[in-house]
Amino acid sequence: MSYLGTEPRFGTYPVQLITPNGTDTSFTLNESPTSEASIIVTIDGVKQQTDSYSVTGTTLAFGVGHPPASSTQIEVVYLGLASDGIPTVDQTLGTNALMRTNAQTINEDITIGATTNAVSGGPITIADTRTVTITAGGNWSVV
C-alpha cells in the first residue's frame, strides 16, 4: 500500500483472551490500562460499552451480579498502555519545525542498531563512564 510520508509503524495491538468461569466478575489483566477507554472489551465478539466495566490497575471488573457466562470468551485489546512517566519533550523550533535541538552532552548509554541512522548537532561530549555503541550497519553523523 502506498503512503504519503512515513508508513505506519504500529500494525497490531496487544490482545488478551480470558475464559470466564460464569461466577467471577473481576479478571486480572496482563497490562495496566490508563482508563476504560484505553481498551476494547468484547464478549464472544460483541463489543462492550465502556460503562459496562471498570478498570483499576490490572483489574477488569464487570460489577456485582454481572459475571460473563462460562461458555463465552472475553477479548481485551489494549489501545494504549501506560507510559513510563518520562515526558517526551518537543525539541522542534520555529514555524513548521524548521529546527531541532539536542543536548551537547550524552549522559546515558546509547546503542545505534544495525538498521538505524542517527544524527546529532555538534559539538557532542560523551560523559565519563557512558558509551555510544554503533552496531555494524548502523550510522551516526554529527554535524
- pLDDT tens for the 143 residues of the chain, in order: 555 655 555 556 889 999 999 999 999 999 888 889 899 999 999 999 999 999 999 999 998 889 999 999 999 998 865 555 555 566 666 666 667 778 889 888 888 888 888 888 889 999 999 999 999 998 998 88
- Residues 54, 25 contacting (CB under 8 angstroms): no
Burial (CB count within 10 angstroms: exposed 0-12, middle 13-18, buried 19+), residue 90? exposed
Global pTM reads 0.52
